[in-house]
Copies of this chain bind each other. A is one copy, B any other.
Amino acid sequence: MAEFELPFRKALVTGAAGFIGSNLVDRLLAAGVQVTGYDNLSTGSEEFLKDALARPAFRLVRGDTLDPEALRGAAQGCEFVFHLAANADVRFGLQHPRKDLEQNTLATFNVLEAARAAGMQGIAFSSTGSVYGEPSVFPTPEDAPFPTQTSLYGASKLAGEGMIQAYATGFGLRAFIFRFVSILGERYTHGHVFDFVKRLRADPSRLEILGDGQQKKSYLHVQDCVDGIFTALARAQGALNIFNLGCDEACRVDDSIGWICGSLGVEPQRVYSGGQRGWIGDSPFILLDTQRIRALGWKPRLDIRQGVLKTVEYLQANPQLFERR
């Protein structure tokens, strides 16, 4: 994909040491942007920022998004914020309901206030296809029927979207909201491929699978995800821009397991917990309509199978990641 002309020279990235954040930081630096990374290193890793930290255009501020003062300090001088810091565990919301509220909803409010105090021009936000709940339309477009939430994670991201939209209307901040499918690729540290590879390394003879293995989900490789973000930033014209980002295909959990096992050279017995959903709030079918971002010239380079295989290769080459959690 061609180089992108980004409309700012200095950006703040929250969650900079995370999976998507650190990949975004590297790409921003490559595009000539000065980057302040902000991360509390609770789930992120400084290791992911090794290249970035070697560059004078990058600085890392260790701080929490629930600390408005520190965030305001880090935001000074930045023209744009990528707000990626979040609790990304859609599955465990019911075990600690306050976590999504604090780390996603309140954190997003703090980021908006910091952006306003710094006089920034805009914000990009990592939202999620989970805000569609269990949609009635597939592939699901951005203007699907008003959804209802089935997870605290989705609810907390919806709350973030709403505040960002109101700030865009009220304070003239340009807003870019990206509703991601699950993202895969280098530095990936949680999600089904991570869990399956980790467990198959420990016991290649048997694999327990939540649900019936027939849940259909869409995935996207992290570099395609960053390409999508840059495409929107360079080419979208609106004050408020909402884009789905995902592959135009879905795969079954069982398909994905087949690719993973083939890549690892294992043939485990598959043991299903049963039911259509892996857990309460799990959506049995996720497939997003990406016509809106495709109309700006974006398309993914890797399909889901390629993304899964690259992720397995990366995890096999970086087994230290399994020890962290």
Query: A: which residues have CB within 8 A of B?
Result: 93-94, 97-98, 101, 105-106, 109, 112-113, 133, 142-152, 154-156, 158-159, 161-163, 165-167, 169-171, 240, 242, 280-281
Q: How far is the CA of A145 from the CA of B177 in the complex (A)?
A: 17
Q: Once the chains bind, are A148 and B165 in contact (CB under 8 Å)?
A: yes
- Are B169 and A163 touching (Cβ within 8 A)? no
Contact of A101 with B109 at beta-carbon distance under 8 Å, contacts A145-B145, A151-B166, A162-B159 already known: yes
CB-defined contacts of A163 to chain B, threshold 8 Å: 101, 149, 152, 155-156, 159
Q: Are A280 and B170 in contact (CB under 8 A)?
A: yes
Contacts of A105 in B (CB 8 A): 101, 105, 159
Q: Is the CB of A162 within 8 A of B154?
A: yes
* Nearest CB of chain B from residue A24's CB, rounded to whole Å: 24
CB of B146 within 8 A of CB of A170, answer no
Q: Is the CB of A166 within 8 A of B149?
A: yes
13 of the cross-chain contacts (CB-CB < 8 Å) are A93-B166, A93-B170, A97-B112, A145-B145, A145-B146, A146-B146, A146-B147, A148-B165, A149-B161, A149-B162, A152-B170, A155-B163, A170-B280
Q: How far is the CA of A169 from the CA of B147 in the complex (A)?
A: 13
- Min Cβ gap A223→B in Å is 28
Chain B nearest CB from A112 CB (Å) reads 8
A161 to B147, CA, bound (A): 11
Structural contact, B150 and A155, CB atoms closer than 8 A = no
**Residues on the B chain within 8 Å of A167, using CB:** 97, 152
Q: Which residues of B contact A170 (CB under 8 A)?
A: 93-94, 151-152, 280-281
- Find chain B residues with CB under 8 A from A143 CB: 145-146
- Cα separation A94 to B116 with both chains bound (whole Å): 12
CB closest residue in chain B, given A155: B162
Q: Which of B98, B144, B159 contacts A159 (CB 8 A)?
A: B159
Chain B residues in 8 Å Cβ range of A161 = 149
Q: How far is the CA of A97 from the CA of B163 in the complex (A)?
A: 9
CB pair B150 A165 closer than 8 Å: yes
A285 vs B156: C-alpha distance in the bound complex, in angstroms? 28
Taking CB atoms, residues of chain B closer than 8 Å to A148 are: 165, 240, 242
User: Contacts A146-B146, A159-B162 given: A169-B113 contact, CB under 8 Å?
Assistant: no
Q: For A154, what are the chain B residues with a Cβ–Cβ distance below 8 Å?
A: 162, 166
Complex contacts, A240 vs chain B, CB 8 Å: 148
